[in-house]
Structures are given as C-alpha cells and as structure tokens.
Structure 1
Amino acid sequence: MRHGKGAAVAAVAGMLVLAACGGSDGDSGTTGSSGKPRIKLVVNGGLGDKSFFDSAYAGLKRAEKDLGYELKVVELGSDRTKWEPGFEDAAAAGDYDILAAGTFEVTDYIGELAPQYPDKKFWVFDAPVDYSGKNGTCSDKCENVYSVTFKQNEGGYLAGFLAEKLVAGKALKGAESLKKVGVMGGVKTPLIEDFVVGFKAGFTAAGGSGSDVLVQYVGGDKPFGDPARGKEISTAMYGQGAALVWPVAGLSGLGTFESAVAAQRYTFGVDSDQYQTLTDQAQKNTVVTSILKNVGNALYKAAQDDQKDSLKYGAVSTVGLSEDAVGYVNDDHFAQLVPAKIRTELEAAAGRVKSGSVKVPSAL
C-alpha cells in the first residue's frame, strides 16, 4: 500500500462531513478562523454503532464543549476501497490541526500520511502505528503521531468471569438450565482475539470450562458493519444453548440484540453503555452490563494533555482497568439482574486485576 505523497485526491464518493467549525479547506494555519484548535475525526465506517466509534465521537464532542476545540467528523462508509483515498483526501485538506482515527485497520494509512504533514498532529486510538518503520510506514518515525491502545483483555476477563458466575449461579431468569455462553468477534485479528483470550481466562478463573465458550467471527467484507450476519451468528449460538452472547463486532453486534429478544436470552454490551445507547426497550432489557472500552475518555484526556503540551507524540500509551480506560457498567439495571454476591465477586476480581495479582493473558 502506497499513498500519493502530499497530493490531495478527488473527494471520495459518499464521504459525509457531519460538522465543520472554522477553518477552510487548504488552510495550513494552526487553528481555525476562531483561533480554536481543530480536530478532524475520520471514521473508517460510520457513526451510529452505539459502541466504539460513538464513544470516540462523544469524547471529542466533550472536548469541543469543555476545552474549546472545534470538531469536524468525516465518515468514509463501509466500502473499504474508499478508505485509502478518503484518508489521503482528509489529510490533504488542511482544515485541521489534529486528525484522529481509530482501529487497527487505519494504522498503515496514518503511518504513511503523518510524515507528509509534519506541521499537523495525528491521534490513533485502539492500535499503534509502526514507529519502527519496519513495515514501510513511519519512515520519519511518526514523531507527530500519538497512539493510545487499550487492555481489552482485562475487560474481556471481567466479562468472562461474570458470565460464568451468572450461568453457574443460575442467575439469568429463563436461562437457568443453560451453561454455555458466546463471544462473537468481527474478524479474527490479534486485537479482537485479545477480547476472546481475556474472556476465556475470566470464565475459567471463575470455575467454568473453556469448552462452554462458543466463539465465532462475522468476517466477510463488512465484519464490523453487518447486523444481519451478526443476528444469524447469534441466533445459532443461542440455538446451541448459549445463555448470553457478547458481540465484539461494532455495528454487526446490533444483530445480537435483535436475536437475544427473539430467543429470550441475554447479552453483554461492548465499548459503550449499550443499555443506554440502544433505543429499543426489549433489546435494552437483554443487556446485563456493558464491558467498557472508554475510547471517549482516552481521547478527552489526550485533548487535555495536548493543551498542556504534555501529550507524548512518537510513542504509544497503553491504558486499562487501573486508568479507568476499561471496565464495566455497574448501575441500577445491573443490580436488578445480578445478585449481590456475584456483584461482590466481580468487584473483587477487578481489584485483583488492578493490583496486578492477576495477570490476564493477551493475544497481543
């Protein structure tokens, strides 16, 4: 993969600019016309996933409101052939001071583009660029790129631990006789496997058998954007006796909530509090808790640190339970579904991970 050096490409068909505040295309200044720093969030997909990208957007909107940034959002859609030229176009436009993008699928794009625009800053969340330059990107070591990654294996561990305690304790009303659970990933990559590895470790640590954890991947051309396929896979898992399914698959996971309603079973949310973000009440009621990857919190913290000139560019920051970057939703709805004894056990398990007395295995 190679990008045109420093040249803008034609605007990508279907690219949607949600909000543009200050600054004009081609402006090479450090701020918009209002004097405020400008962040451009480029989404390799779309908002509305009720989880990962929506969390990133919420964090940057908070930075806009609280810290005085200006935010523009560009959605590139699910057609992967549009992503490379879309990132080139977004970077070349010049209407930003910071370009933010996330997932392992965009790191090569940012790694090649960032050295071409040394007067700009780039934030990559959920996977780092290759600072070594070994894969042909980051030839100048990407000294203007900040990468933040998450210990999603720690969140997965808590999900697995809770899942086993729920099924072993026959705590899920209507599913008391079932002992299997499912994890649906978008695609089998090290990052998604990190969720799965952590989940299995937590499940077995709580006393369960790894053979009772069903794992399947959406795959295809839209692994994180295919709710119909997500529903199909989740329906099959429920049919195999899963009491609950945890979708780790972006928009594809929305199909899991539909399936759970039909099967009268349960789910865990992912990345964001999906009990709050889902709009269908029946689907909301299937969500026991959500395992949080606080992307928005991490980006808000990056915005704070950048204002103080303390954000470390040219390096990777890795955050987990100890930094409140991953965790789980513990609210009234959770308390209604989960007995106090299990809630206490889960809290203790989280404490052991935070303290380091439990080392969660990782796929990374």
Structure 2
Amino acid sequence: MVTTVVLATSACGSGDDTDAPSNSTTRTTVRIGLAYDIGGRGDKSFNDAAAAGLDRAKQELDVQTKDVEAQKAETEEEKYARLKLLCQAGYDAVIAVGFTYAGADPAAGPMARAAGECPDTRFAIVDDPSVTAANVANLVFADEQGSFLVGAAAALKSPAGHVGFVGGCAVDVIKRFQAGYEAGARAVRPDIEIDTHYLSTPAQGCSGFNAPAAGRSAAEAMYDRGADVVYHAAGSSGIGVFQAAKAKGRWAIGVDSDQHEVVPPNLREVIITSMVKRVDVAVFDFVKTVVENRFKPGVTTFDLKMDGVGYATSGGRVADVAPRLEQFKKQIIDGAITVPTRPAD
C-alpha cells in the first residue's frame, strides 16, 4: 500500500514555507515543521496551545514554520509519512503534537521510525515519554498536578457534592487528568460523588477528541444525574461539554488553554476555570533550543514548579476559592502532597 501525505499549511495559514525549503548548506534560517494531533489548529484547546507556541517562535526567534493537519481515523503509516516528509523536505526540527505519534509500539511507531530514518533532524513529541532516541525530545506535563487544582475548585464550587469528568480517549495520559481531578476533589470533600466517562478508546482511533456531540451527550447525562460541575479532557469535544452546561444551567471546567478566552462568548459564563497546560511554552522552548544549538534529547516534564501547568482565573469565578487553591499548589510544589497519576480502583 502506498500512503500519500500532502504537506499543506493549515487552514489558518500560519505556515510560511509555501515551497519546500532549500537544503543548501548556505542557508541560516532555522525551519520548523509541526504536525498536529486530531482536531488541529482551531480546536480551542490542545492543538491551539501548540500553535500559539509555534507562532511565538516564528515572531520572536525569526524561524520559518509549516504546520500540517492530522486527519480523522488516520493510520500510523499516515502519521509516520507526515513526519518523514517534513524531515525529507529539509526542516531542521519536527514537532509531533500528541501521544498518538508514538504509536501502539513506541519502539517502532511513527515517531521512532521517522527519527531513525532522519538522524540529522531533531524531533520533539508532545505528551509522550516512551519514544527514546538520540534525536528525540519528549515534552511532557504533570497533568495530574494541574488537574488536582481544578478538581479542588470543582469540589469547592459544587453545592451538590457531585461532579463529573469527560475524557477524550481511555489512554494513560488522559487517565492522569482523571486521577488528579479526583484526588483534588476528594482532598476538599472525601465523600464527593464523581462520574467518569470516556468518549473513545485507542481501538477507535481516539476519535473522542473530535466529537463535540458525544461530549455534549456525556455531560448532559452527568448533569441529569445530579452533577453540577463537569471537567473535560477531550480536545475539541469540550465544546459539547460547555454546550451541555449552558443548556442545563450548570458549570464546566476547560482544559489545556484558558478556554474562557477562546470559546464563543455565549459559552464563557459556564466555565469556572480551566486546567492550563503550557504546551505553548514547551513548543517555544524546544524551538529555542534548536535555534541556539542546545537541543537535548529525553524527557522534560513541565510541572507546577516550572509553571508548566496551572489553573485559569479568567471570569473571576474562582476568586473566592483561590487562596485554598494556592495553598494546595504550594503543598504540591513543596512535596507535602503527592498527586496520583493513576485513578483509584
């Protein structure tokens, strides 16, 4: 089977290399390629955070960039081909946004294959620590720590003592969000009721990250059962969670970006906070290491101490509980609280 991948810039036009870059040894401008996860630029969440980091690097570091979209239900072969074509086109560094680029077998998946066949290209994979190679940097986050804080916020703002969690795909990285959220909620209220629902599985291609209708349905069911706050870690499906909160007159919590600032205005009123995951910082910092010839392979974890995760305050809806959240934050940074990375059985 022959797989064809077209290196087109994203619909929003952030890429500026319309033609493949020259491989001339005389060029000095660093060129960065970025491959999105499912949902792509415009998802108001994970991918948009990566896009913000790329855009900042283009502006501040004078690099040239190209960002390319993923397709629904694509195969690992197609993901590999996208990464391979970026390095073959002469990009100095290639960033893969999302754990799906690791593949089912990280030693032989899309990222490992592309990195092995392009040893002179520096790669980064966001949200996956499992791919190991001398030319691969793993940019990961303490998702559980940020989720602990918004879990505490949910419990503090929940009159019913009943909250929910909607995950985009039943994989380890999203289960870290669930684990932290549950731990934070129970740190405030040990008897709190927590509903959990995953929209997809790896066998379904993790399609739940781009299924707003499914997100809405899952959240509506939780609200109907009595939950008054629902947190999503579901990419663009989160819009459906916010729509459900609006329809039911309840609260929701966003993820990755400060979603109060990026969703349509009619949905802002339902978002009490967001778990902010600084994918933009990770992408920008990686590009900077490439530009400054400081590339370092292996895992870098962006945690609370590094300001890699946190919670948003836009809208002022957590102002009354912020002192308690800051207390929890300090305890986590100081090591007084260890946040679990796996949900309790």
Change (3 A) 1:114 1:339: closer
Instruction: List structure 1 runs of 4+ shifted beyond 6 angstroms.
Output: none
**Root mean square deviation, CA, Å:** 2.3
**What's the % identity of the aligned pairs?**
29
1:138-149 counterparts in 2 under 5 A? 142-149=133-140
What is the aligned partner in structure 2 of residue 296 from structure 1? 280
Q: Secondary structure at the match of 1:349?
A: helix
- SS for the counterpart of 2:29 is coil
Residue equivalent to 2:91: 96
Q: Offset of 1:148 from its aligned partner? A: 1.0
Q: 1:185 to 1:194 in 2, by over 3 A?
A: same
- Give unpaired runs (5+ residues) of structure 2: 103-108
Aligned partners of 1:348 and 1:207: how far apart in 2?
16
CA offsets, 1:220-259, max 9 Å, x none? 5511010011111011011011111111000111100111
Q: How does 1:99-110 map to 2 (within 5 A)?
A: 99-107=94-102, 108-110=109-111
Instruction: Quote how far apart the aligned CAs of 1:37 are.
Output: 0.7
Query: Taking structure 1 as reference, are residues 225 and 298 closer, same or farther at Cα in structure 2, changes over 3 Å only?
Result: same
- May I ask how many residue pairs the two structures share in their alignment? 329
1:152 aligns with 2:153: no
Residue aligned with 1:322, SS:
coil
- The residue type paired with residue 165 of structure 2 is V
The 5 Å alignment of 1:1-364 reads 9-12=3-6, 18-22=13-17, 24-25=19-20, 27-29=22-24, 35-45=28-38, 46-81=40-75, 84-92=77-85, 93-107=88-102, 108-131=109-132, 142-167=133-158, 170=159, 178-209=160-191, 212-219=193-200, 220-221=204-205, 222-279=207-264, 281-313=265-297, 315-331=298-314, 333-334=315-316, 337-338=317-318, 340=320, 342-363=321-342
**TM-score normalised according to structure 1 size:** 0.84
Relative to structure 1, is the Cα distance of residues 271 and 91 closer, same or farther in structure 2, using a 3 angstrom cutoff? same
Contact 1:23 1:95 in 2 (8 A): no
Amino acid in the other structure paired with 2:284: Y
Unaligned runs of 5+ in 1: 132-141, 171-177
C-alpha distance after superposition, 1:82-123 (max 9, x if no partner): x52243144234241111012221112111110101111111
Q: Secondary structure of 2:5's match?
A: coil
The structure-2 alpha-carbon separation of the partners of 1:119 and 1:262, relative to structure 1 and needing over 3 Å to count, comes to same
Measured against aligned partners, the alpha-carbon deviations of 1:319-361 in whole angstroms (never above 9, x if no partner) come to 2000000001124x12xx2353x22111111111111111111
Conserved 8 A contact 1:30-1:37 = no
Deviations along 1:167-220, one digit per CA (max 9) or x if unpaired, are 2xx4xxxxxxx221100001111111101111111111112325x011001115
CA 201–309 in structure 1, closer or farther in 2 if over 3 Å, else same = same
Given the superposition, is the C-alpha separation of residues 29 and 44 from structure 1 closer, same or farther in structure 2, using an over 3 Å criterion? farther
Residue matched to 1:174 = none
Return the letter of the residue paired with 1:214.
D
Look up the match of 2:106: none
Q: Is the 8 A contact 1:91 1:99 kept in 2?
A: no
Query: Quick one: structure 1 residues 41 and 251, their matched pair in 2 at CA, closer, same or farther if it must change by over 3 Å?
Result: same
8 Å Cα contact 1:156-1:291 kept in structure 2: yes
Is the Cα–Cα contact under 8 Å of residues 15 and 76 in structure 1 kept in the other structure?
no
What is the CA deviation profile of residues 70-91 of structure 1, one whole-angstrom value per residue up to 9, with x for unaligned ones? 111110221323x522431442
